[in-house]
Amino acid sequence: MERFLIVDSDDLELDFIRALTEEEIENKGEVLIARTGREALNIAGQQKPDAIIMDVQLAESDGMKILGSLREMYPNVIITILTACTEFDVALKALKYHVHDYMLKPVKPGEYKAALKDIRNIIGMKRGAEMSLPKIPSHEGDDRSKDHQKKSFIEDSVEYIREHYRERIKLSEVASRVYMNTQYFSRVFKREMGVSFTEYVNILKINYACKLLETTNYPAYRIASECGFTDPSYFNRVFCLYMKMTPQKYKKQYRISKNESREEEMLSAK
């Protein structure tokens, strides 16, 4: 049974999203609700949801801190942000916490249901991958050794990816470096990291692109190249997918935000 946790301090929004979710999943899942960050953490700890749909503007708590806590506690849970907050730095922080999607209120029923279908497909694939993993007899010593080996090759893989993500890095290439079958490596990587190999590489690329947009005057094609994209138009599509805005708009908003911060500092110094 699929289990969803909806976190929102607005009762009207909470009832609206819960109704849409229940309508979509029918009797094949369970919908849990939380109105505060503390309640969300408690329910997540007790019920272990497959997916969390949450606002980052919560009463009585910092929504981004709650998001960080949820990701730290449950690295594999699918988290989608649904909020009226349009601040680009919030979207950037959410990206770093590996959220699945970032949707803005008011959300259209069709748009939300489409996102929910995507989430359900991912839940199904994750469960299918877990069921296809070979069953190993449970011996405490063997389990500890296997866990150590798994963490070791994941750490080695992540280190290699972080060193080479600006190149045309491939899943098969990384899998071969740790002497693993490509498909098996892909399943374990996603289970351990909470995102697929491609998503992880793209997150690193887009984070680096944001840094270049903030600190250089490089044109878009140069930034695309620096981040390992051979096609600038594809870079734009990936950037928009993760940041919900174009690179040009990101750069413009960053400069506006920086100027506003500078003005505030000057005023406070007087």
Q: Are residues 84 and 178 in the same domain?
A: no
Last residue of a domain, one of 76, 103, 130: 130
pLDDT for the residue numbered 139:
44
pLDDT at residue 42, as a whole number: 93
Report the mean per-residue pLDDT for the chain: 84
156/218 same-domain check? no
pLDDT of residue 265: 59
Q: Within a domain: residue 77? A: yes
More confidently predicted of 265 and 238: 238
Is position 268 within any domain?
Answer: no
Contact assessment for residue 228 and residue 195, using Cβ atoms and an 8 Å cutoff: no
Give the global pTM. 0.53
Tell me the average pLDDT across 224-240.
93
Q: Tens digits of per-residue pLDDT, 74-110?
A: 888 999 999 998 877 787 777 778 788 888 898 999 9
For residues 206-233, give the mean pLDDT. 92
**157 occurs within a structural domain:** yes
Q: Would residue 90 count as lying in a domain?
A: yes
The residue count for the chain: 270
Tens of pLDDT along 152-211? 677 888 889 999 999 888 998 888 887 777 887 888 888 878 888 999 899 899 989 999
Q: What residues make up the domain containing 76?
A: 2-130
Please tell me whether residues 105 and 217 are part of one structural domain: no
